[in-house]
């Protein structure tokens, strides 16, 4: 994995027609840090992650990875992105889908031997339940040899009993493997529990939040 000092985005703006969603985002994420991004529906969380990953051309954005400016960052393979929608090809087997991204590597073997994945290896992705598929996708993305990963709603469809192991996996990827993680989800307590630092969308920009009181202050919780 490449060692990169930090991910830094500045002046990220984007509008859909007359509706300005992102009004000058500044965000920094260090290796080994989990940054939680919260905000109401339609505030621009997914738009921001898509722009950072490089699949959405923002109106303006300055993105730097380790001081190096880039546009379509995904081409550098320094980023992993868990899309909001299920994205694994449905007709592939679990084994094939994992090998497709990770190749024949030690990481691939470790993932396939995971107690939750091992029994599913020969099944087609399309035959998995929504929760199983999501679990697999999160595992796959945090296992990528990329120094930064963006997780858009990783806890969707994950049953309570499997949320803690999932959070542990994200924490391990960040705190032990030194990945920088951006995470957003409406299961905000899980995000609060997992993240080292929280930012909340308010008026198209990000505001730092230190706890539930700040979430209320910025209008995210009642």
Partner 1 sequence: MGHRIPAHVGLLWLFARRCVIYNLVLSLLGASAFFAVSLASADTAQALSDTAGRAIRIAALMGAILVMTAGQALGLVSMRLFHGREFPYYRNAGLGEGVLALGSWAVALVVGAVMLTAGMIWT
Q: Which of 69, 85, 115, 122 binds partner 1 (CB under 8 A)?
A: 85
Q: 33 φ, ψ to 5°? A: -120, 140
Query: Can residue 104 be called a binding residue for partner 1 (CB under 8 A)?
Result: yes
Q: How far apart are CA 91 and CA 6, in angstroms?
A: 37
Query: Can residue 203 be called a binding residue for partner 1 (CB under 8 A)?
Result: no
In the complex with partner 1, the residue whose CB is nearer, 81 or 188, is 81
Q: Which of 145, 202, 207, 221 binds partner 1 (CB under 8 A)?
A: 145
> Which H helix or E strand runs over 13?
strand 7-16
CA–centroid distance for 132 within its chain: 17
Closest CA to 110 of 173, 190, 31, 179: 173
Contacts of 176 (CB under 8 A, 6+ apart): none
Query: Can residue 55 be called a binding residue for partner 1 (CB under 8 A)?
Result: yes
In the complex with partner 1, the residue whose CB is nearer, 9 or 82, is 82
Q: Which of 68, 77, 113, 164 binds partner 1 (CB under 8 A)?
A: 77
Residues engaged in binding partner 1 (CB under 8 A): 2, 53, 55, 72, 74-78, 80-81, 83, 85-89, 92, 97, 99-104, 141, 144-145
């Amino acid at each position: 994995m490449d060692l990169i000092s930090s991910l830094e985005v500045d002046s990220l703006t984007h509008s859909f027609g007359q509706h300005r969603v992102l009004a000058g985002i500044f965000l920094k994420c260090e290796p080994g840090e989990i940054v939680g991004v919260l905000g109401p529906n339609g505030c621009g969380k997914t738009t921001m992650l898509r722009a950072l990953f490089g699949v959405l051309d923002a109106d303006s954005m300055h993105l730097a990875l380790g001081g190096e400016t880039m546009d379509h960052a995904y081409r550098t393979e320094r980023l992993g992105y868990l899309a909001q929608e299920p994205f694994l090809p449905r007709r592939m087997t679990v084994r094939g889908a994992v090998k497709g991204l990770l190749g024949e590597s030690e990481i691939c073997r470790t993932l396939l031997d995971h107690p939750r994945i091992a029994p599913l290896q020969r099944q087609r992705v399309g035959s998995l339940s929504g929760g199983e598929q999501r679990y697999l996708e999160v595992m796959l993305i945090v296992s990528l040899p990329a120094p930064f990963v963006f997780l858009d709603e990783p806890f969707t469809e994950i049953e309570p009993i499997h949320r803690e192991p999932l959070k542990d996996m994200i924490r391990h990827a960040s705190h032990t493997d030194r990945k920088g993680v951006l995470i957003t989800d409406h299961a905000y307590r899980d995000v609060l529990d997992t993240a080292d630092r929280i930012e909340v969308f308010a008026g198209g920009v990000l505001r730092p939040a230190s706890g539930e009181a700040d979430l209320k202050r910025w209008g995210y919780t009642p």
